[in-house]
Amino acid sequence: MRLTKLGHSCVRLQKDDRTIVIDPGSLTPEGDAIAGAEAVLITHEHFDHYAAERLRKAVADDPRLTVYTCRAVAADLGDLGGRVRTVGEGDALTIAGFEVAVAGQRHEVVHPDVPPVENIGFLIDGEVFHPGDAFTVLEAPTLLVPGQAPWMKAPEMIQYLRAVAPRRAFAVHDGLLNDAGLGLLDGQLAGEGERQKREFRRLRPGESVDIP
C-alpha cells in the first residue's frame, strides 16, 4: 500500500492501481486530491476535512466515485443519493479493494459550550488508522496522528502515541502551522519516536511512503 500525504489532514491510499482518499477538506489545496479515486472517506463535518462542493463536483465528474461518511455529512450530501453511504463505529466493509473498519464516535471537545460533533475514524487493511479529530485507541501498526489543532495540546499527542503504540506514525492535521510550528512538531515526534524506538515523523505535502 502506498500512502501519500496531501494538505492538512488528507491522505491518498493506493494499492493494485486502486485509490481511496480520506478527508480532502478546504485546507487541502491540491486540486487533484480526489482525481482517480474510487472512493472518498470523510471523518466528520468540519470544513478542514469536508468540502461539500468539491465532493459534489468530483462525484459529478466520475461515475465510479462513492463517498463513505458519518450521518451529518451524508445528510448534507443527501442530493447525491446512493453515491453517498453512511457508516458508523463497528462497520466493516470492502471499499475499492481495501478492507475498511470504522471506529470512533465523537470529535474531541473544541469548546466547553459546544457539544462535540460525530467523528469516525477509518482503519484501512488492518494497517493504517486515520482517526479524524479524535484520540480513538485501537490496534494499528500505522497511525496518522493529529499534529496540531485548536482542540488538542502537545502532551495529548504524546499520550495518544503511547496509548496506541504503533510501529510507525505520521503526523497529519498540520495545516494551521507556520514553519516555526512545523519545526516544533518535528522535534516532538522525533523525541517520542526515539523514546519508543519507532518511526514517528511528519510527512510533507506530496510525500509518499510504502506501507509493508
Contact 20, 96 (CB under 8 A): yes
Is 31's pLDDT higher than 90?
Answer: yes
Q: What is the pLDDT of residue 194?
A: 97
Q: How far apart are CA 75 and CA 77, in angstroms?
A: 5
Q: Enter the pTM of the model.
A: 0.97
Q: How far apart are CA 11 and CA 86, in angstroms?
A: 20
In sign, the C-alpha dihedral spanning 153, 156, 160, 162 is positive
Count CA within 13 A, CB hemisphere, residue 120. Answer: 26
C-alpha cell at 32: 487533484
Q: How far is CA 22 from CA 123, 181, 187, in A?
A: 11, 24, 26
Q: What is the pLDDT of residue 155?
A: 96
Q: What is the pLDDT of residue 47?
A: 98
Percent of the chain with pLDDT over 70: 100
Is 212's pLDDT higher than 90?
Answer: no
- Which has more pLDDT, 82 or 212? 82
Is 60's pLDDT higher than 90?
Answer: yes
pLDDT (average), residues 72-88: 97
Q: What is the pLDDT of residue 131?
A: 98
Per residue in 133-168, pLDDT (tens digit) is 999 999 999 999 999 999 999 999 999 999 999 999
Average pLDDT value over all residues in the chain: 97
Contact 51, 26 (CB under 8 A): yes
C-alpha cell at 41: 472517506
pLDDT (average), residues 40-47: 98
Q: How far apart are CA 132 and CA 146, in angstroms?
A: 8
Percent of the chain with pLDDT over 90: 100
Closest alpha carbon to 9 in 173, 149, 137, 122: 173
pLDDT (average), residues 114-127: 97
pLDDT (average), residues 6-20: 97
pLDDT (average), residues 52-59: 97
Closest alpha carbon to 160 in 27, 6, 149, 181: 149
Q: What is the pLDDT of residue 2?
A: 98
pLDDT (average), residues 103-114: 96
